[in-house]
Each structure stands twice: as C-alpha cells, then as structure tokens.
Amino acid sequence: MTKRVSEKKETKASIEKKSIANELKNNGSNNSLLSKEEFVKALRLMILARSIDNKAMNLLKQGKSFFHIAGSGHEGVQVAIGMQINPQVDWLFPYYRDMALSLSVGMTPTDFFLACFAKASDPACGGRQLPCHWGMKRTSNFPTQSSPTGTQFLQAVGTALASVRNGIKNISYVSSGEGTTSQGEFHEAVNWASREKLPVLFHIQNNKYAISVPVWQQSGGEGNSIAEMMKGYGNLLRLKIDGTDFIQSYQAAKEAIDYIKNGNGPVLIESDVVRLLSHSSSDDQKKYRVDSEIQDDIKRDPIKKLSEKLISENILTMEEIEELKNSVADEIDKSVDYAFAQASPEASTADKYVFDESGLSKTFDYEKSEPTGKSIVMVDAINHALHEELEENPKIYIFGEDIADGKGGVFTATKGLSTKFGRERVFNSPLAEASIMGVATGMALAGLRPVVEIQFGDYIWPAFMQMKDELATFRYRSNNEWFTPLVTRVAVGGYIHGGLYHSQNIESIFAHVPGIYIAYPSNAADAKGLLKTAMRLNDPVLFCEHKGLYRQSYAMSPEPDNEYLIPFGKAKIVKEGKDLTVVSYGASMWDSVFAAKKLADEGYSIEVIDLRTIIPLDEETIFNSVKKTNKVVIIHEDTLTGGFGAEIAARISDSCFQYLDAPIKRIAAKDAHIPYAPVLEYAVLPSREVIYQGIKDLLKY
C-alpha cells in the first residue's frame, strides 16, 4: 500500500489502486493512466532488464566478462519512474542496480554489452569502469556513475540548485539502496534539498539487504523504514510504496514529479522491492539468507505480477507475452554478438583525459602586463580576483561557510561579494564540507563554475571522498564526456599559533590524486593571477592560501590589472644565483629568500625558485637551475616524510644525477603534529635559522 506522509497535516493517505481495464476505457484521453501500448512497453523494458541480467551472468561464467551486479526484482518501480523522466531535461544519478531505469531513459542493450565487454565504444566510459556504472553522453543529463555508495546524492542536489539558479524547470533523480542511507552524505543531501525546496527525487530501493547486512541492522527508522527515518523535514514529501507493483509505482512517481514541478520541494520514495539474485557476481546470498525468504521474494517478482495482471485484465495473452520474451532474447543475442566484435580500448589511451586536453589553457594571454597598481596584501588580491571574475562570468558562484557578508569569510577574503553580487551567487553553505564539495561538483556538471571555500585545510577531509573519487575522476571515467571546473580555495599553513587543527598543510596528499591541479602562491600578484586562471580552466583546482601570508608585508606586491593571468606549471626564479638552488613555495619560500640574502653577505650566491603550482610541476625550471648550480635544497612546511619535496627530489635524481656535486637535501617540518605553544610550534616547523643552516651545510659539502 502506498503511504503518503505530510509533516504539515500529520496524515497518511493511500493512492487508490485502479484496475488496468478502467485505466484503458478512455485509451488515449487525458484521464487514462497508460495506454495499452505503454503497458506493453513497460513490461518489455522489465523483461529486457531481467534478460540482460541473466545473459550477463552467463557471459561471466563463460569467462567473457568479469563482473555484474543485478537489478532483478527492482524492475517495476524503475521502469515506472524511468518512463516519466526525460534525460535531455532531467538529471539522473542512479545507482548500480538501476538497469531498468537506464533502459527506460534511452540506454540500449548494445550500450550495456559494450560496457560488459569493456569496449572502446562503451558510451558510458569507454571501458574505463566496471559494468553497471550507468551514463550516457553529454547530449543527455546522465553523467557516468561511480562506485562509492552515497556520493551521488550531493551531486544531484548540486544539479538541482543549478537548475533553480538558471530558471530551468526539471528534476534531479537520485537513487540508492537502503544500506547507503547510513551514509552521512545522504542525510546532508536531504537536508540541503529540503531546506531550499530543491527539485530532487530521492529514490531509496529497499530490498532489505546491503550485501549481507539486513535493514534492521542499518536503519533506525520506525519499522526500519527509511521514509520514517526522514521525518521532520517540512518540505519533504515521503512516499512508501510497493516497488514490485508497477501500477502503484507509476502513480507514486507521477505524484512525486508533480509535487516537485509545482515547486513544493523534494520527494523521497522508499520502494519496497526484492533482490532476486545475489548482491553481485562476487557474492552468494545463500550463505546468509534462508531459502524460505528467497522463495517469498520470488513470489513478489514484479514481472510476474504485472504479467498476471495484464492477462487477468485481458490486455495481453500468455502467447503475446512469450512473443515479447522471444523478441527480447533475439535483440539481446544480436547486441551481444555486435558488442563482442567491437574494438577494445588502445593501451596508449590509458592515461588520456586525466586533465583537459582541448588546448584551452594555451589560448589564454598570460602575464601580458607588469603589475603596477597600488601595493596590496595577498588576501585583498584574492578578494579582488573573485570580484573581477564574478563580474566577468555570470556562471561563477561562490559559497562556503561564513563567506557571505557581514562576516565575509573568517579571513575576509570574500568580504563585500554577497553585498555586490547578491545572495543568489555568493552565499553561505551548511557547516558540512562534503556538502560543499558534492553540491559544487553537481553545479559544475550542470555547466556552472563554482568557487568554494574550505575555511581551514585541517577540515577538508570530510570532503576528500567527493574530491578524490568524484570531482577528480569525472573527465577520466567518462572518457572525456563530462568535466568539473571547480575551484576549492582553502587556508593552510602554520606559524600562526593555530595548534594541531588550524595549521596543516595538505598539498602532498592531494598531489597524489590524478585530476586535480594544485596552486600555492606566495605573494599577492601571484595569488591574483593564479586564481583568475584557475577560475577559467576546465579542470578542478585546489587553491592553497597560506594564512600566514594573507597580510604579511613581504608578501605584498603591486596589484595586477583585471586581465592578469599566470600559467599553471610555470615556476618563478625569485632570486638568481650560481652556487646552490633552493626549490620552495608558500611561506617557506620567503624564509628561503631571507636565508639567501643572509648568505649573500657571506659571499654565497643562492638561486631561489618559487614553484607557484604543485600540480603541474615546472620540471624544466628546476632541472635547468640544478644543472647550473649542481647543488639543490628542497624546502617546504609540510612534514618531511611523504612531503612533496620527496617527489621533487626523486625527479631531480632521475633527470639530473650526473650534474649533482652533493646529495639532494630536504628541509621540512618534523614528523609531528603542529602544537599550539609558540616554542613547540617553532621546534616542529622549519624555522629561518634551520633553513639558513641547512643551506649553508650543503654549500660546504
């Protein structure tokens, strides 16, 4: 029985079950639920999905594929919803069991088997992902899906927010099993969508098992219900339905979509479905489920139920249904034969599309003028860059914690922006870093250019899953069909007596994530030029801002004009020299400059290189300098072990070993957390004296 719960009315009403015969009396009129042809289409889609499941498992046993995850038992509600969704208008973020839904919105059996056999022409990913990671090319709003459970919810919210900001009337569909609702990002997504009345259709397909863990060990909702668990959201319509009943599911989906499109807010449908096969081809549910339970599920088979209904209502005969099955079998056999014969990906393409390869960045006019404006501090240069790009590009949206006026950010980097550009474009986010990143990723998929602020690098880790597994992978995993131009500004670094949780450097960890550029400016002009470039690129950028340099006098510089751009991957020789090379960035670069000046008084000539960007790394400038000076010290504020300096040292060793007259030296923080007391902080972080002495020791080698 469908249950509708309204928090405002505190009532439960049911959607009346109508006979198919009654629905067909006015065939073709506005009063009919579905025509006979549409019921036949629905049944065929359900049979098609089931048959693909069976075929895929047989192919796996034959050694022709490697993995499959079935949706058998979920087909009824998926087709009911899919038939009412337009992938050219609505956004889709399904999960791995949504085979029938994907077929309903345009995926073909051939598409599936191209993925099954990991062929180059697989439209979802070109053979880069496991099968059952649905997606279609950018002609539809169906981005290629990923494996982590629950990350898609926030992206759906992001696309819905983009639709609202752009004045587009559509919905964002997102689904998962009941187990995934244990993830915090699911709750964050429902909170954001409900608070802002966003057009999101949350579909929870409750088959009672998250692999082997039953729902009663997952959900704290009344009766282990997900819909009951989500009580309290005033704008959220919650429907609990029998997802094995196609008619009831179709009616519920229609009500949900009408509710959303009338601007009332999001809807959560909890579908009571059955899992007729094991979790995946790597699982055996007989190890943890009793046979009687499995047999009870088989009795609720949605295909069986709809077929019997159509026959009892004299809509179809058994013979016609058999003809449908035969037609499906023929289509699948042809699709398998065609897909299997297609070409596999070329090995030479394995590392393509980690970043944009369109050549866009080469079209920018870099450093076309010298900064000649009034000397400003770094935080103001960042503020001005944001202001200018907001004015230049209406697709840019800025949000994060406390970034709107009157606060204007904890370091005032966004001061005045919401006043000038309005709370639609510059706004406060919930206090949830994963939400910030996931929603921004969705907005980027929808064609906007979000710039988000994470207050401190120490608190970016709740967003790490979104950044590493989602944001960074979209271009690669979709074979260049989808991309996410998103800038993440984050305050990093110590020397401010911030203690363990306001002093961290994060660049070395993110440098290990393919698909994210990393900028780390050391002065006002570079900060402005790099940030403006970041906001124009078609790739994600992590923009590290050392808070100890925000208002530091020696990090001031004349302000560049509003067209001043600095290329990523171009280091700067801050001080020329011939006796030794220092490679550094951020606050440590300045300490290196001061040490070099002191050593100059002692007769030494030190060359200091400011990397400016970590990814991409300017190897050419580094190698040329090392070949000239024959000695090199790499200095950074992050810990010694695993710090990015180790990567630089390894590359120098590979390419410049024959030019070295001394070992490559690294100066960095101790392998410890950063304490609060100044005397302890200075003992952990690389001090000016330590840097000076370290350089001098290598000079004497």
Give mean pLDDT, residues 211-234. 93
Q: Look up 68 and say whether it is catalytic.
A: no
CB atoms under 10 Å from CB of 195, counted, come to 15
Whether 287 has a pLDDT exceeding 70, the answer reads yes
CA-nearest of 500, 509, 584, 506 to 545 is: 506
Distances in Å between the Cα of 122 and the Cα atoms of 111, 135, 144 are: 6, 10, 11
Residue 570: phi and psi, rounded to 5, are: -125, 105
Confidence of residue 3 (pLDDT cuts 50, 70, 90): low
Kindly report, residue by residue over 592-647, the tens digit of the pLDDT: 999 999 999 999 999 999 999 999 999 999 999 999 999 999 999 999 999 999 99
Out of 133, 203, 502, 636, which one is annotated catalytic? 502
> Tokens representing 497?
């007596």
Residue 389 has pLDDT above 90, yes or no: yes
Q: What confidence score (pLDDT) does residue 33 get?
A: 78
> pLDDT tens, 314-342?
999 999 999 999 999 999 999 999 999 99
Contact 452, 414 (CB under 8 A): no
Q: How far apart are CA 701 and CA 25, in angstroms?
A: 95
CA distance 119 to 345: 6
Task: Give the other-Cβ count within 10 Å of 563's Cβ.
Answer: 13
Query: How many other C-beta atoms are found inside a 10 Å radius of the C-beta of residue 512?
Result: 12
In three-state secondary structure terms, 221 is: coil
Q: Please report which confidence band the pLDDT of residue 464 belongs to, taking 50, 70 and 90 as the band edges.
A: very high
Report the SS3 class of residue 638.
strand
Please state whether 671 falls in left (phi above 0), alpha (psi between -120 and 50) or beta.
beta
Q: How many other CB atoms are there within 10 angstroms of residue 671's CB atom?
A: 11
pLDDT computed for residue 254 by the predictor: 97
Q: What is the phi/psi pair of residue 431, to 5°?
A: -80, 75
Q: Rounded to two decimals, what is the model's pTM?
A: 0.94
Read off the pLDDT of residues 169-189 as tens digits, 9 standing for 90 and up.
Answer: 999 999 999 999 999 999 999
**pLDDT, tens digit (0-9, with 9 covering 90-100), for 298-313:** 999 999 999 999 999 9
Summarised one tens digit per residue, pLDDT across range 29-60 is 334 679 999 999 999 999 999 999 999 999 99
Q: Which two tokens stand for residue 53?
A: 């499941």
Residue 27 pLDDT: 40
